[in-house]
A and B are shown apart, each in its own frame.
Chain A
């Protein structure tokens, strides 16, 4: 056990460098360029096959608007995964937040005070559920996969109880007017997505919080020895993810004019897929916001191009599957290369005492 301990300080020392530079400029710029190329190819295919129907401002806005909800959740998911965890409960949290924010009681309160009450409710519910996730994982030492899987089931069940399995319509005109407006020609949902992405990028790449996230995900034990309060940081990551779910719930309420326990079904898979496509390592320690945004855009554009060409949903599913596999294959090669370089330090941190179980659940033994 002495090896990881003695090697730990240098490993932590490299974390900030990977955090600030590696996220956008140095290591992964090539992979982000790859994503951009993929997106461009997709756009070319769209223009060739669908012509003006694809290359129109309306269509661009449609794509961005559809990408917005998944995008916001994926930003939160990026933090969690870089921090060495996983959050399977995001879809269910979106459902729970949307239902809680549209109950008759909440809407009545919103009518009396301001529609911001509905937004606040959604964010609060998402954040609190994320807090439960985080506490159970960091202090209860449950594996993140299991803890958030439990939350997935429980939160959707709670949403069904609250909504009585009915679809709740948003009746507040102020809320709908605000979120369906298009300031400067772009829908409010797209602005929110952009804002969340920018804040996420700054938080990850320009703050101590971001550097600690990379450190915790890269090697939790090393991070602890370097003085980072790993458990508290893990909790914060899940709260962050929960809050993005609350934001996504508000966006879905605006998009569909409803709150429903079926909202966000399988959203967790879309988000994880987008994050992985974007080059974030599932084992944590590395990832980028830009890559995630590109990943989301690729998936949304893919659906759009397929629908414009009237191609069946089954073929769309096959194409998505193929793209995920290709991306993960690429990712494994890169990860293997990275591990060879730092093989002495790659002893699984989970083996070390004191590492929170959830902070690094996916670290493979070999």
Chain B
């Protein structure tokens, strides 16, 4: 996991900002296309969007057991529907690794042109992905990385460390002039590497402006656990200036606990970017002031990249002939000022 972490760090530095390029790979207006990805409406300007040979893409992802994951598959499907030359074969979402391996085997036997794979467990899916690559089928690895770089032609990653950085920098910009400000953190499941990366980024960014995390609790990405740990957290810290909550799904519970306790002396930053949270930010009726996006459009990006690969095209906004090896999506901060740009592509929790 530490190797994976290190790699994530380097790629973060190397390819931050590539998100705009990816989603807008065929357009002149990356900003607009970002909000439009998944729901259509790109302004195509290059020949990349012109119909080519029909491409059969196999798609496999974990079970859509929460809003973000449901949006992953929905966005991928929606993206495929926009291109008449994509034939997307969506396997039933599963959290069973052996079932997912069987799905990839089926794709290989069917001789699909490319596979977009969001593995339930990156390590466990690496051998079968290698097999697909050796069979000449490019694999696009989404979100959870394989343990072997040869197992994927392209890797599209969200930026968990960057989420922490974005949240930390936003809180710094709001509280930077108060060195003794109290900052609290409601993390997700602590044993997951993604939670550790988010917390690390958050701590690093806060340290830049002389702040630190005074109180930290960990929930389980569910509404109920969010409410429970936050109720205790609010007791632990009688006075808070800012809270970062890692996940907007559990954020509903976090907000309920805050309302129950009648507290409003602080502001809160969310994570992941659910439509609920964005509507709240838009309305400005709660302590939720901003949220940090973990894009649910990554699989949709994967589908588009798969199409380009199968049709021997490159990213039209890059000079390079080939599609890049690895793309790390940006983790922008959404506030009342720019929420309109993002709310259309947000997921319903």
Contact = CB atoms under 8 A, between A and B. Distances in A.
B223 A263 contact: yes
A343 interface: no
A264 B231 contact: no
B232 A62 contact: yes
Interface string A238-259: 0000000000000010011110
Contacts of B66: 165, 262
Main secondary structure of the interface of B (DSSP, over half): helix
Main secondary structure of the interface of A (DSSP, over half): helix
A314 interface: yes
Interface string A35-65: 0000000000000001001001011001001
Interface in A62-85: 62, 65-66
Given A165-B67, A256-B252, A62 B220 contact: no
Most buried by B among A66, A180, A262, A265: A262
Contacts of B233: 307
B217 interface: yes
B236 A256 contact: no
Nearest to B250: A262
Contact of B228 (A66, A167, A310): A66
Interface in B319-349: 348-349
A234 interface: no
Most buried by A among B190, B228, B233, B234: B228
B224 A252 contact: yes
Most buried by A among B215, B221, B224, B229: B224
Interface string B210-247: 00001111101111111111011111101000000000
A165 B224 contact: no
Interface residues of B, number: 39
Interface string B269-285: 00000001000000000
B91 interface: no
Contacts of B221: 262
B222 A262 contact: yes
Contacts of B232: 62, 66, 303-304, 307-308
A312 B195 CA distance: 13
B65 interface: yes
A313 interface: yes
A308 to B, nearest CB: 5
A257 B226 CA distance: 12
Contact of A313 (B64, B218, B223): B218
A229 B347 CA distance: 53
A260 interface: yes
Given A65-B231, A262-B222, A314-B190, A169 B348 contact: no
Nearest to A316: B218
B223 A256 contact: yes
B276 to A, nearest CB: 8
Interface string B140-164: 0000000000000000000000000
Nearest to B260: A180
Contacts of A263: 222-224
Given A165-B70, A167-B249, A262 B224 contact: yes
B38 interface: no
Interface in A130-176: 160, 165-167, 169
B219 to A, nearest CB: 9
Nearest to B255: A257
B190 A310 contact: no
Given A167-B67, A307-B233, A313-B190, A264 B217 contact: no
Nearest to A310: B215
A58 B252 CA distance: 22
Contact of B224 (A50, A62, A260, A310): A260
A265 B235 contact: no
Given A160-B65, A166-B348, A262-B222, A313 B217 contact: yes
Nearest to A306: B232
Contact of B222 (A62, A160, A165, A265): A265
Nearest to B222: A262
A256 B67 contact: no
B349 A53 contact: no
Contact of A264 (B224, B252, B348): B224
B223 A53 contact: no
A258 B216 contact: no
A313 B219 CA distance: 9
A66 B224 contact: no
B256 interface: yes
A50 B221 CA distance: 27
A296 to B, nearest CB: 13
B228 A258 contact: no
Contact of B65 (A56, A165, A312): A165
A257 B235 contact: no
B30 interface: no
B253 interface: yes
Contact of A312 (B190, B223, B348): B190
A64 B6 CA distance: 44
Contacts of A308: 232, 235-236
Contact of A53 (B227, B238, B252): B238
Interface of B: 64-67, 70, 190-191, 214-218, 220-229, 231-236, 238, 249, 252-253, 256, 259-261, 276, 348-349
Given A53-B235, A256-B253, A262-B66, 15 more contacts: A50-B236, A53-B238, A166-B349, A167-B223, A167-B276, A169-B252, A256-B227, A256-B256, A262-B223, A262-B224, A303-B228, A307-B217, A307-B229, A310-B216, A313-B218
7 contacts: A50-B236, A53-B235, A53-B238, A59-B235, A252-B224, A256-B227, A256-B252
